[in-house]
Amino acid sequence: MELMVLVRYAEIFLRFVLPVIIFTGLIFGYNKYKHIYERCFINKSMLALLTLGTLSTVLINVPIYIDAELIIAVNFGAIIIPLVISFVFIFEINKQLANLFRSSIVIMFVIVISMISFMLSYFKPGFGITMDFPYYFVPMLYGVLFAFILVGRSNNFYSAVPIAYSISTLGVFIGADVLQLPIAINENLRIGYLGGQGVLDMVYISGLYSLVFALFIVIINTKRSEKKEKAHRESYMIDRAWLIKPRAVAFLIDCTIQFMIIYLFYFTVFGDIHLTLDQVMPFRGIERVFLLGWSVSIHIFYFTFFEWYFGQTPGKMVTGIKVVPVQYIGITKKKKTARTSNKFLNIFTRNILRIVELVLGFYVVSMILIKLSQSEQRIGDYFADTKIICVEKEFELN
């Protein structure tokens, strides 16, 4: 009996308390071991997306399938963000470590972890798809083991961290969510949330723990042999009085365009924009949640696509400003081309954190920060290492 009580307390600590400790440790560890984090492809933008970005979007569920008897939604913070991070990691490693990173081996490792996750997980009526304690640590441990097997004792030791995160996240998502979903549907599931437990979900926890465990091993093996590297980037200053007005005008233009996109989206989905959701969905109590999920997703991906692909949203094109990662300032176009995935991560993080800024008085705090700070950065710009600059002055700088 006493042993069962101890096991229960251990489960509570590992599942509820440990993630908070890990969040805090990751943030403070970045300040102390920045050079190691960055060699592991974890920059400030990635760290903010992994922690603050997830926490700010964990209540957003995006519907991906709706019919008269079943609704399936995906949690933005627990599923979409970890998957985006995983694919960015894979793209970055495949690009820079082509001789080491073998896609076929990684796929094999993902399949193995998927099979393990499928065997250890099960559908629990009234709760969802879950794994019992302590079995949900098994995929994470295999992910770390496979990552270090893949890199061996090569000079690319740091790449074990993103590999461990990616194969653990993808493996658990496929095995415990995708493959278990048909079983849950056969058990008369009516509303299914992939990642419904938020930051306590298996997909998010497996990726997070894998990353931290692998990072801890890398830090232990390198902190005595390497000196801390400091990167000094030239910052580009623009007049604060000039900055606020075009950013505000651009934002209003973009919001107007987004309103029209959302309007057309609802018209396309429901056929008649005047229909209430009660008329097209058989369930009550979730209409506002799904409306919020759709609207916020369109808001985020609108800014992310235009700022990543063009450097400017339509509103910024009109006002003559653009978004630039700090590390891009003053370098040639050829070098910029080699940093495409880094730029996407900067832009994605910048726009995920719009959720935080909307909560903080609908960008009021952000406007104050832009006005008062020397770098003219709002919250999203600070964590994503981006700046707003004048298009004409960018050519003069380059």
* Residue 125 binned pLDDT confidence (cut-offs 50, 70, 90): confident
Q: How far, in Å, CA of 177 to CA of 170, rounded?
A: 10
For residues 132-161, average pLDDT: 81
- Structure confidence by residue, pLDDT tens digits, 237-289: 444 444 557 788 888 888 888 887 777 776 666 655 445 545 544 444 555 66
Query: Hey, what amino acid is at 104?
Result: S
Mean pLDDT of the chain: 77
The tokens for 311 are 């450097």
For residues 350-375, average pLDDT: 81
What pLDDT score does 288 carry?
61
What pLDDT score does 329 carry?
64
- Structure confidence by residue, pLDDT tens digits, 61-70: 888 888 877 8
pLDDT at 231 exceeding the cut of 80: no
Q: How far, in Å, CA of 211 to CA of 158, rounded?
A: 11
3-state secondary structure the chain: CHHHHHHHHHHHHHHHHHHHHHHHHHHHHHHHCHHHHHHCCCCHHHHHHHHHHHHHHCCCEEEEEECCCCEEEEEHHHHHHHHHHHHHHHHHHHHHCCCCCCHHHHHHHHHHHHHHHHHHEEEECCCEEEECCCHHHHHHHHHHHHHHHHHCCCCCHHHHHHHHHHHHHHHHHHHHHHCCHHHHHHCCCCEEEECCCHHHCHHHHHHHHHHHHHHHHHHHHHCCCCCCCCCCCCCCCCCHHHHHHHHHHHHHHHHHHHHHHHHHHHHHHHCCCCCCHHHHCCCCCCHHHHHHHHHHHHHHHHHHHHHHHCCCCHHHHHHCEEEEEHHHCCCCHHHHHCCHHHHHHHHHHHHHCHHHHHHCCCCHHHHHHHHHCCCCCCHHHHHHCEEEEEHHHHHHHC
Highest averaged pLDDT of the listed ranges 36-40, 80-84, 254-258, 342-346: 80-84
**Count of alpha carbons within 13 angstroms of residue 320, beta-carbon side:** 9
Q: How far, in Å, CA of 93 to CA of 100, rounded?
A: 9
Q: Report strand pairing: 191-194 vs 71-75.
A: parallel
What pLDDT score does 170 carry?
94
Q: To 5 degrees, how large is the angle CA 214–CA 132–CA 126?
A: 125
Q: How far, in Å, CA of 211 to CA of 163, rounded?
A: 9
